[in-house]
Amino acid sequence: MNYQFIISREDWSLHRKGEVDQHRHREKVREAIKKNLADIVSEESIILSDGRRVVKIPIRSLEQYRFRYDMRKQKHAGQGNGKSKVGDVLGSDPDQAPGQGPGAGEDPGQDYYEADVTLDEIEQIVFEDLFLPNLDEKKNKKLSSESVEFRDVRKYGIQSNIDRKRTILEVLKRNALKGQPGIHGITPEDLRYKTWEVVPKFESSAVVLAMMDTSGSMGPFEKYIARSFFFWMVRFLRTKYQNVEIIFLAHHTEAKEVTEEEFFTKGESGGTRCSSVYQLALDIINSRYPKDDYNVYAFHFSDGDNLTSDNEKCIRLIDQLLTKCSLIGYGEIEGPYYYTSTLNSYYKRVTHSRFTSVTIRDKSGVYNALKAFFKEPEPREGMSV
């Protein structure tokens, strides 16, 4: 007996395996990005790029799960009546991954490949939990972010946007007209889909002051960490908010307002007087950004090596800034060569809820600093990252 199988062109089950694999791939990529965010955020090739960088992310092999023997072990479980007995230690996994111990290894490694990921995809994950904290209602409303609003209902759309309430109403009306009231026999003609529009959502205006120590004590590592943080901060603000103003201030013993390009590229030298940048920030706020019209944020990064005679003045100026700012963030970078600090030890006395300080000891601390500053303040503000 001959059988004929006719497969419809509309039989999308043929494509299901491909869709499943694509979905698994996207999830694996997203999982790998989230797992390595701290390293990705501090990646030098991204920081020094022009913003259109394609980044390679290592992804573990997507092969299916299966049982297999580990032939390196002398005893195995589940293989019948062998020499193993109750209480025997059958073996343990090595503490280090293959190839990571001292000397040349001989164990096989774990398969992985590199996926190309755009900077936009990384930004989407990095910025999803970040926002400007303590935004108060102000008279001047220039700051806008994108908001999704469902404004229409149509007969065609994607499954995830089905409007269940209106679909059921259509079923009830159609069945009632046929003299068969009730919810039954849903047809494609009954389906209703919500459609949306991206509309600007206006919030209170905001200005952010980026303040960076460029003195001689800020070595290559310290400057790289500071610039890495401000690189991501600028991209976060311009990605999530429109019309946010960013003021760039650089200082050694004197402070000055600089362009964005100078802020990220120009080097300085000399001693350190941090009070100079706080005084300049106060002058700028008083002259250009009245408290009634703007939410003001100030973020300062330094190695903490400040003139001892200047520390008390810094405390007084921080107290004045706190009367005008929605949040002040101070990041102190512990360099690899010395671990002395004068400024941060003084800032431990600042217990105001809108003052947050972090200490960064390695590149992974950049991402943790972003999370510490751009969220609702924790009960205890001083923390180490």
- Please state which of the ranges 46-50, 72-76, 81-85, 148-152 shows the lowest mean pLDDT: 72-76
Residue 97, amino acid: A
Q: Give the separation between CA 138 and CA 250, rounded to whole angstroms.
A: 28
Q: Give the separation between CA 150 and CA 153, rounded to whole angstroms.
A: 8
How many other C-beta atoms can be found within 10 angstroms of the C-beta atom of residue 127?
17
Closest by CA position to 286, among listed 259, 317, 255? 317
Mean pLDDT in the chain?
Answer: 76
pTM attached to this predicted model = 0.65
User: What value, to the nearest 5°, has the Cα angle with vertex 172 and ends 166 and 175?
Assistant: 140
User: What value, to the nearest 5°, has the Cα angle with vertex 103 and ends 98 and 104?
Assistant: 60
Q: Provide the pairing of β-strand 355-360 with 383-384.
A: parallel
The answer to whether residues 32 and 115 touch, using CB atoms and an 8 Å cutoff, is: yes
Task: State residue 4's pLDDT score.
Answer: 47
The answer to whether residues 175 and 165 touch, using CB atoms and an 8 Å cutoff, is: no
DSSP 121-143: HHHHHHHTT---SS----S---E
Query: Residues of 253-291 as b/e, b for ≥16 C-beta within 10 angstroms?
Result: eebeebeeeebbeeebeeebbbbbbbbbbbebbeeebee
Structural domains of the chain in order of their starting residue, each with its CATH number: 13-62+113-125 (no CATH), 150-198 (no CATH), 204-384 (3.40.50.410)
pLDDT in tens, 284-338: 999 999 888 889 999 999 998 888 889 999 999 999 999 999 999 999 998 766 5
pLDDT in tens, 70-103: 655 555 555 555 666 666 655 555 555 555 555 5
pLDDT in tens, 165-201: 888 888 888 888 888 888 888 888 888 887 766 555 5
Q: Give the separation between CA 171 and CA 208, rounded to whole angstroms.
A: 54
Which ranges of the chain does DSSP label H, i.e. alpha helix?
16-35, 37-41, 44-47, 119-127, 164-177, 220-240, 260-265, 275-288, 311-322, 343-347, 365-373
How many other C-beta atoms can be found within 10 angstroms of the C-beta atom of residue 381?
21
pLDDT in tens, 13-34: 444 555 566 667 677 777 777 7
Q: Give the separation between CA 180 and CA 166, rounded to whole angstroms.
A: 19
